[in-house]
Structure 1
Amino acid sequence: MCNNCNLNIDAERTDEFGQKLLQIVNHSGLSFMISIGHRARLFDIMSEMEHATSSQIAEQSGLNERYVREWLGAMVTGGIVEYDSVLKTYFLPAEHAALLTRAAGSNNFATTMQWFSVLGSVEDQIVDCFREGGGVPYSEFARFHEVMAEESYNSVVCGLFEHILPLVPGLEEKLQTGIEVLDIGCGSGMALIEMAATFPNSRFNGYDISEESIGRAQASAAERGLTNITFRVQDVARIDQPEAFDLITAFDVIHDQAQPDVVLSQVNASLKPGGTFLMQDIAASSNVEQNISNPLGPMFYTISTMHCMTVSLAQGGAGLGTCWGKELACEMLQTAGFEKVDVQELPHDIMNYFYTTTKAA
Structure 2
Amino acid sequence: MSLALDQFEPKETLAAEAFADRVSEILNYGAITVMISIGHKTGLFDTLARLPAATSAEIAYAAGLDERYVREWLAAMVTGGIVSYEPSSETYRLPASHAASITRSGELGNLAVYAQTIALLGQVEERVIDCFATGEGTTYSDYPCFHDFMAEDSGQTVVAQIDGLLDTLAPDLKVRLAGGIDVLDAGCGRGLALIELARRYPESRFVGYDLCADAIEFAKTEARSNGLENVHFEKRDLSGYDEKARYDFIASFDAVHDQKDPAALVRSLHGALRPGGVYLMQDIAGSARLENNLDFPMASFLYAVSCCHCMPVSLGQGGEGLGTMWGWETAKRTLEAAGFASIEKHVFDHDPLNVWFVSRKA
Common fold by TM > 0.5: yes
Give TM-score scaled by structure 2 length. Answer: 0.96
What's the CA shift string for 1:125-179, capped at 9, x where partnerless?
1111111101121111111111111111111112211235530131111111111
Q: Map of 1:110-149 to 2, 5 A cutoff?
A: 110-149=112-151
Q: Determine helix, strand or coil for the equivalent of 1:10.
A: helix
What is the aligned-residue RMSD (CA, Å)?
A: 1.6
Q: Determine helix, strand or coil for the equivalent of 1:351.
A: strand
- The equivalent of 2:255 in structure 1 is 253
**Is 1:55 paired with 2:53?**
no
CA contact (8 A) 1:187 1:210 kept: yes
**Is 1:340 paired with 2:342?**
yes
- The equivalent of 2:83 in structure 1 is 81
CA contact (8 A) 2:100 2:108 kept: no
Q: Determine helix, strand or coil for the equivalent of 2:252.
A: strand
Give TM-score scaled by structure 1 length. Answer: 0.96
Aligned letter for 2:34?
F
- The equivalent of 1:240 in structure 2 is 242
Moved more, 167-176 or 246-255: 167-176
Gaps of 5+ in 2: none
What's the CA shift string for 1:283-334, capped at 9, x where partnerless?
1000000001112110110000010001011111110100000111111111
What's the CA shift string for 1:25-71, capped at 9, x where partnerless?
11100110000000000011110000110001111111011100000
Aligned letter for 2:207?
N
User: Structure 1: how far apart are the matches of 2:129 and 2:274?
Assistant: 45
User: Structure 2: how far apart are the matches of 1:115 and 1:176?
Assistant: 37
- The equivalent of 1:295 in structure 2 is 297
CA contact (8 A) 1:106 1:158 kept: no
User: Structure 1: how far apart are the matches of 2:346 and 2:200?
Assistant: 24
Change (3 A) 1:252 1:160: same
- The equivalent of 1:163 in structure 2 is 165
Aligned letter for 2:52?
E
User: Structure 2: how far apart are the matches of 1:355 and 1:3?
Assistant: 51
Shift of 1:106: 6.5
Shift of 1:105: 6.8
User: Structure 2: how far apart are the matches of 1:157 and 1:210?
Assistant: 20
- The equivalent of 2:326 in structure 1 is 324
User: Structure 1: how far apart are the matches of 2:287 and 2:156?
Assistant: 23
User: Structure 2: how far apart are the matches of 1:3 and 1:71?
Assistant: 37
Q: Determine helix, strand or coil for the equivalent of 1:80.
A: coil
Moved more, 10-19 or 317-326: 10-19
User: Structure 2: how far apart are the matches of 1:20 and 1:345?
Assistant: 32
- The equivalent of 1:44 in structure 2 is 46
Q: Determine helix, strand or coil for the equivalent of 1:324.
A: coil
- The equivalent of 1:206 in structure 2 is 208
CA contact (8 A) 2:185 2:251 kept: yes
User: Structure 1: how far apart are the matches of 2:154 and 2:33?
Assistant: 19
Gaps of 5+ in 1: none
Moved more, 283-292 or 14-23: 14-23
Aligned letter for 1:316?
G
Q: Determine helix, strand or coil for the equivalent of 1:267.
A: helix
- The equivalent of 1:286 in structure 2 is 288
User: Structure 2: how far apart are the matches of 1:354 and 1:169?
Assistant: 14
User: Structure 1: how far apart are the matches of 2:334 and 2:137?
Assistant: 23
Q: Determine helix, strand or coil for the equivalent of 1:322.
A: coil
